[in-house]
A and B are shown apart, each in its own frame.
Chain A
């Protein structure tokens, strides 16, 4: 019996980690900054490729993953400087710009790196409970997801940078008038967002097939999670992921993956209908 209970927890943790890790970066870039980043998946892909490249050069996996996240973050800062900063005033156009960017990046990767890259293998380690065996690495992913949530909360709620950043996102002109260097705040925030996307790719790289279009498998889930989380991403994303993970896990387990996927999307439609401002609107109201 305990095996069944643990199995349910494990499945929940697995879906939850996937949703949180793929959505965390987008929560900042799209949820806070309002940039509709269609290239989000490509930052994830970037993290994965850098990780695999470094591991093949002999760098230990954990260090490669951190370096990959940093690389994605730095590239994000550059992209922000060259492209994204022109679009803060016209968010809908950011969709077209980042979509163009995503096309360029995926196809260039295909031309430069080739269509298939040899995987690096998941770190050894599995354990058995009852009749089931589980991969230890999936629990590491869950741990990372929780750590990312905690880290985001601390950075944006408890540090001086976080306070200024939130002020800037709410009213850039006012923040500027009060002396905040809003340009730099925007670019650092964007870098954190893409760095988290890169981290997601880095963490999932050992468990997936690497192809240039791999980012696409993350995109729908991440947008959906951020959107139903609502305006306050720091409060909304976690409950959104919990909610979607429970629905998805329950349907996956009893009716298979197709119904799981369809059911999750229907749940999204219904929740937006009931709470047009997203989940966080309820939490914020309660908080007052």
Chain B
């Protein structure tokens, strides 16, 4: 089974890659020992968003489905966590609230996905339908300010947002600060490895085959719609995980986390990082979240200009994404002795091109 950790669908194989992986993991695990507690909490916060990015990478990069509405599921699970945590009370029940809210997002994804995929919606239409759906939810929640909008004691509270839910907890122990950080690291590792195994498995091959050519995959006897739905549900479930964790982190969620421009952010992270690979998305999204925050802190009003310039430069200079672009540079530099790496990158580029055409 662990053989599936490596394969044609993911970059990185062999001893060197896994040694690097373990080194990064070890670094991440020891980081709280010498870092400021604020920074640890802040890193945990960045990791919260990564699930949504990985989910979109699976759907868009591997499955060829560009969803512009991942914040729909982010919002459903985020509000779901709030409603459940308030209604079920704090403490260990918050863990159940987290799990249930993710399931809720996946059920919603199942319904919307069935509606779209069995209706033959694809390409940019897929993006517009998901965007419309997420905007509908945002508009709806925005007008729920009155006290009549409540589920049990949980008030939706309109544009000002829902609050008053407990953060994740086990008994009396709140999962915050370093504890939250370690939980996030564990979840990221599990999700990342599980996704690697998924895309390198038989199912993953069908998903990629469907992206490349749905008719051909259909001819080979696969009901591609089922595989697309599965991809959509998993990807959206991950967006939901981000949403529930976000609500728990800030004990607060508002409709602006669901509408524009929030809906565009996951696409920006994944496109910036390089949508064709999970590792690239993981690393790139983290760097971009960290970079954007740092730019905003230190450059005041020029921040948005710098962020725009960064995106523009990336997409013009590194067509396959920031992380893969840097990887290619490193590979070129290294390739005096090892042309094989270059070959891998070329194959990668070929894969991207076939996807576009």
Give chain A's interface residues, CB within 8 Å of chain B.
36, 38, 83, 86-87, 89-93, 95-97, 99-108, 110-111, 216, 219-220, 223-224, 227, 258, 261-262, 265-266, 268-269, 272-274, 276, 278
Contacts and interface: CB of A to CB of B under 8 A. Distances in A.
Interface string B241-284: 00000000000000000001000100110011000000000000
Contacts of A100: 307-312, 315
Contacts of B319: 90, 93
Given A107-B301, A224-B132, A97 B139 contact: no
B301 A110 contact: yes
Contacts of B116: 273
Given A104-B305, A220-B135, A227-B125, A93 B312 contact: no
Contact of A227 (B66, B124, B301, B315): B124
B312 A269 contact: no
A276 B121 contact: yes
B17 interface: no
Chain B residues touching A, range: 35 or more
Contacts of A95: 267, 271
Contact of A92 (B271, B307, B312, B314): B271
B133 A269 contact: yes
B356 interface: yes
B297 interface: no
Contacts of B356: 89-92
A104 B128 contact: no
A272 B305 CA distance: 36
Contacts of B311: 96-97, 99-100, 103
B301 A273 contact: no
Given A95-B271, A96-B268, A97-B315, A107 B135 contact: no
Contacts of B312: 83, 97, 100-101, 104
Given A110-B301, A262-B136, A97 B316 contact: yes
A38 B142 CA distance: 24
Contacts of B264: 38, 99
B304 A268 contact: no
29 contacts: A91-B356, A95-B267, A95-B271, A96-B314, A96-B315, A97-B316, A100-B310, A100-B312, A102-B308, A104-B305, A107-B305, A111-B305, A220-B135, A220-B260, A223-B131, A227-B128, A258-B139, A258-B142, A261-B139, A262-B136, A269-B129, A269-B133, A272-B128, A272-B129, A273-B115, A273-B116, A273-B121, A273-B129, A276-B120
B135 A111 contact: no
A103 B260 contact: no
Contact of A268 (B128, B310, B316): B128
Nearest 3 CB-CB pairings of A with B: A103-B308, A100-B311, A100-B312
Which one of A100, A220, A265 has the greatest number of beta carbons of chain B within 10 Å?
A100
Given A224-B132, A262-B139, A93 B304 contact: no
Given A99-B264, A104-B304, 6 more contacts: A38-B264, A89-B356, A96-B315, A111-B301, A219-B260, A273-B121
B122 interface: yes
Given A93-B319, A262-B140, A268-B129, A276 B119 contact: yes
B75 to A, nearest CB: 15
B143 interface: yes
A269 B315 contact: no
Q: Does more than half of chain B's interface fall in helix, strand or loop, or is it mixed? A: helix
Interface in B226-253: none
B125 A106 contact: no
A99 to B, nearest CB: 6
B302 interface: yes
Contacts of B260: 216, 219-220
A143 to B, nearest CB: 30
Nearest to B304: A107
Contacts of B120: 276
A265 B143 contact: no
A268 to B, nearest CB: 5
Nearest to B357: A89
Contacts of B303: 107
Contacts of B136: 262, 265-266, 269
Contacts of B124: 36, 227
Contacts of A89: 356
A103 B119 contact: no
Contacts of B131: 220, 223
Contact of A223 (B128, B142, B268, B316): B128
Contacts of A97: 311-312, 315-316
Contacts of B128: 223-224, 227, 268, 272
Nearest to A106: B304
B287 to A, nearest CB: 15
Nearest to B126: A272
